[in-house]
């Protein structure tokens, strides 16, 4: 039986793996949250690896607050880069396959077509810089790894755009959403299922991959789809915001090309619309026609 360690188990992606684990008891799952294992502590991580043989390590631990990273640069790099380096070294020593998640924000958004894995990076903010540094640390210090860049993650867990829009719609609040960023919303459950497939297949096609749901939209377009599938389109006042201001600069275009995943693993990725509909149907739709969170 394979042993799979999931670090950062309290985050939304970690929670998706935990829900998936309940259906796959042929794997020995080990879930560790930040209170149990501080990924920035090499000692903590090593102690975890010393407790049992780890075949696969899924690193869901990350500093993800894009705005706060601008003023907490050291903390962002500690968790997203230094911790990744320590984990890569330990995985190499333990002959453990490492799964690490990165972001579309490693790109500068100047492209006009979806980014390939081989395209030049150029992050615009501290968060993107720290995640790119984490990628570099893993490439330099690990042998058996999958770096998976993803974008605009949402799920039934934690705080995310999908749940925020549903909540505001239920309260009847007006929505003013930016159209300035183009990307691909990604159902975190789909990402978790893809990683599980690689584990089940014992894949050794290591490297950097892009995984997001197919197609592209703006945050406004995503909000419009969420209102549509929840039956709130037309009931809520939804307007464009063309002057969206943030502390951290964000790429205007950060769509990821997923053909490498699809061709390498013969894997079919759902459209972002189908993925959003699936999440609402499976986790938020109830008999009263409302949603549960």
Mean pLDDT of 56-64: 95
Domains of the chain: 3-158+187-215 (3.40.50.720)
- Residue of 109, 144, 107 whose CA lies nearest to 128: 107
Largest CA distance in the chain: 57
Rounded distance between C-alpha atoms, residue 8 and residue 18, angstroms: 11
Of 272 and 1, the structure prediction assigns the larger pLDDT to 272
For 26, residues 6+ apart whose C-beta sits below 8 A from its C-beta are 1
pTM (2 d.p.): 0.94
Mean pLDDT of 247-275: 95
pLDDT in tens, 74-98: 999 999 999 999 999 999 999 999 9
Out of 98-107, 142-151, 276-285, least confident range: 276-285
Q: Tell me which of 56, 127, 145, 253 is the catalytic residue.
A: 127
Mean pLDDT of 204-223: 96
For residue 127, indicate whether it is catalytic.
Answer: yes
Q: Give the DSSP per-residue string, the chain.
A: --EEEEESTTSHHHHHHHHHHTT-TTSEEEEE-TTT--TT-HHHHHHHHHHS--SEEEE------HHHHTT-HHHHHIIIIIHHHHHHHHHHHHT-EEEEEEEGGGS-S--SSPBPTTSPP--SSHHHHHHHHHHHHHHHH-SSEEEEEE-SEE-SSSS-HHHHHHHHHHTT--EEEE-S-EE--EEHHHHHHHHHHHHHTT----EEEE---BS-EEHHHHHHHHHHHTT-BTTB-EEEES----SS---SB-PBP-HHHHHHHT----BHHHHHHHHHHHHT--TTS----
Mean pLDDT of 195-203: 96
Rounded distance between C-alpha atoms, residue 80 and residue 88, angstroms: 12
Residue 90: the pLDDT is 95
Q: How confident is the model at residue 243 (pLDDT cuts 50, 70, 90)?
A: low
Residue 287: the pLDDT is 39
Residue 267: the pLDDT is 96
């Amino acid at each position: 039986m394979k042993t799979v360690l999931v670090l950062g188990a309290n985050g939304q992606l970690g929670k998706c793996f935990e829900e998936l684990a309940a259906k796959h008891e042929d794997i020995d799952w080990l879930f560790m949250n930040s209170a149990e294992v501080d990924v920035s502590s090499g000692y903590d991580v090593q102690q975890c690896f010393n407790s049992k043989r780890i075949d696969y390590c899924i690193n869901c631990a990350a500093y993800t607050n894009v705005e706060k990273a601008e003023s907490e640069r050291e903390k962002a790099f500690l968790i997203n880069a230094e911790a990744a380096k320590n984990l890569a070294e330990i995985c190499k020593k333990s002959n453990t396959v490492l799964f690490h998640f990165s972001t579309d924000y490693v790109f500068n958004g100047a492209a006009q077509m979806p980014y390939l894995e081989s395209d030049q990076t150029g992050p615009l903010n501290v968060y993107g810089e720290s995640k790119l540094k984490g990628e570099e640390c893993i490439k330099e210090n690990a042998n058996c790894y999958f770096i998976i860049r993803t974008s605009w993650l949402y799920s039934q867990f934690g705080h995310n755009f999908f749940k925020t829009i549903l909540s505001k719609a239920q309260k009847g609040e007006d929505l003013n959403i930016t159209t300035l960023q183009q990307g691909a919303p990604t159902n975190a459950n789909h990402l978790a299922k893809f990683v599980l497939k690689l584990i089940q297949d014992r894949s050794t096609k290591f490297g950097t991959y892009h995984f997001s749901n197919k197609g592209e939209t703006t945050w406004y377009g995503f909000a419009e789809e969420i209102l549509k599938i929840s039956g709130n389109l037309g009931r809520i006042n939804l307007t464009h915001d063309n002057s969206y201001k943030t502390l951290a600069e964000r790429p205007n275009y950060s769509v990821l090309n997923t053909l490498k995943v699809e061709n390498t693993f013969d894997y079919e990725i759902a459209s972002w619309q189908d993925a959003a509909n699936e999440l609402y149907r499976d986790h938020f739709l109830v008999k009263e026609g409302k949603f549960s969170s």
